[in-house]
Amino acid sequence: MPAMMMDTVDGSFAVETSGLVRRFGAMTAVDGLDLRVARGTFFGFLGPNGAGKSTTLKMLTGLLTPTAGTAKILGHDVVREPVEVKRRIGVVPEELALFDRLTGGEYLEFVGRMYGMPLSTVRQRSGELLDLLGLGGESSKLLVDYSHGMQKKVALAAALIHDPDVLFLDEPFEGIDAIAARLVKTILARLLERGVTIFLTSHILEIVERLCAHVAIIHQGKLIASGTMDELRHGVPSGAGSRMTLEDLFVSLVGNPDESTGALSWLE
């Protein structure tokens, strides 16, 4: 009964899905996903390539409609109350989706205004964000002329400009240099202190291990493990579980034992 109570209290969870399904034709990309992410946590969403991470994220952020099941963000249903959801979330999508014929400054201004923010606030924040990310000097350059890493930073800035409560980041560390990565980590830590929930997918498990208090692993659209690092280690049958890194855990949970010792005939 207490568990039921938890479920029905509005906004208990930052992210909550139940039986979430998404099919593409005959193919099931996300298969009955039940996720719960408490508010204010740093949540790592892991899985091998093609596991369904981005598909899940797109359903949570309004880019894809679920085939079945429900998803709630801060107690608001993503299908029935999309505007309430979108007001509260920030998104860095997997494929960089910028308006590349705007300058960095214009783009951030555009995004801020799309959230209905007053122009003066938008300008102030976009200036601060660009300065913080080391793009202050580039604000009058068209985004198409930015490098990949710079575009990634602008995408992050755009996701932050309206001060979201839940931040969805699909592989934010891909393609940025070590200095920028550290900067992003610092910013994320500061957001976490402010009570922002961060939902992150990444293939860089060292970063996930260091940052994320909670981790979930999906494989072929299904949740195969979730919990804190310690809880995950307990789930592993082998006795050495207690000293395993996230990478070891990931491989042991997801990897196919037959393929794990891959061999190439001409290297024998």
Ligand X SMILES: Nc1ncnc2c1ncn2[C@@H]1O[C@H](COP(=O)(O)OP(=O)(O)OP(=O)(O)O)[C@@H](O)[C@H]1O
Task: Give the residues lining the site for another protein (CB under 8 A).
Answer: 61-65, 83, 86-87, 89, 91, 93, 95-103, 105-106, 109-119, 138-142, 144-145, 147
The answer to the question of residue 112 lying near ligand X (CB under 6 A) is: no
Of 9 and 204, the one with the shorter C-beta distance to ligand X is 204
47 binds, among ligand X, Mg ion, another protein, none (CB under 5 to 8 A by kind): ligand X
Q: Which is nearer to ligand X, 53 or 233 (CB)?
A: 53
Q: Return the one option of another protein, ligand X, Mg ion, none that residue 242 interacts with (CB less than 5 to 8 A, by type).
A: none
Assess 197 for contact with Mg ion (CB under 5 A).
no
Can you tell me which of 13, 41, 47, 207 binds ligand X, judged by CB under 6 A? 47
CA-to-CA distance for 253 and 69, rounded, in angstroms? 25
CA distances from 216 to 41, 120, 228 (A): 13, 40, 9
Nearer to ligand X, 51 or 208 (CB): 51
CA distance 174 to 148: 10
Distance CA 108, CA 126 (A): 6
User: For residue 214, which phi and psi values (nearest 5 degrees)?
Assistant: -125, 145
Q: How many residues bind Mg ion (CB under 5 A)?
A: 2
Instruction: Kindly compute the dihedral angle of the four CA atoms of residues 10, 14, 19, 23, in this order, to the nearest 10 degrees.
Output: 130
Asked if 56 touches Mg ion (CB under 5 A), the answer is no
SS3 265: helix
Decide whether 54 or 226 has the Cβ nearer to Mg ion.
Answer: 54
Burial class (CB in 10 A: 0-12, 13-18, 19+), 100: middle
Give Cα separations from 15 to 10, 57, 127, 199 (angstroms): 11, 11, 31, 9
Looking at beta carbons only, is 113 or 222 nearer to another protein? 113
Nearest to 35 by CA among 167, 234, 218, 169: 218
Q: Which of ligand X, Mg ion, another protein, none does residue 195 bind to, with CB < 5 to 8 Å depending on kind?
A: none
Return the HEC string of 134-152. CCHHHCCCEHHHCCHHHHH
Closest by CA position to 56, among listed 22, 98, 94: 22
Question: Which of 14, 15, 20, 29 is the binder for ligand X (CB under 6 A)?
Answer: 29
Q: Interacting stretch for Mg ion, rule CB under 5 A, among 70-78, 91-99, 111-119, 161-169? A: 91-99
Instruction: Compute the least distance from the CB of residue 149 to ligand X, in Å.
Output: 18
Choosing from 49, 238, 256, 260, the residue that interacts with ligand X (CB under 6 A) is 49
Residues 132-171 that bind ligand X (CB under 6 A): none
Of 21, 247, 215, 73, give the one whose Cα is nearest residue 224: 215
Under the binding rule (CB under 6 A), the answer on residue 24 touching ligand X is yes
51, 71, 150, 200: which one binds ligand X (CB under 6 A)? 51
- Which positions from 59 through 98 interact with ligand X, judged by CB under 6 A? 94
Distance CA 227, CA 213 (A): 8
Q: Where on the chain is the footprint of Mg ion (CB under 5 A)?
A: 54, 94
Q: Where on the chain is the footprint of ligand X (CB under 6 A)?
A: 24, 27, 29, 47, 49-55, 94
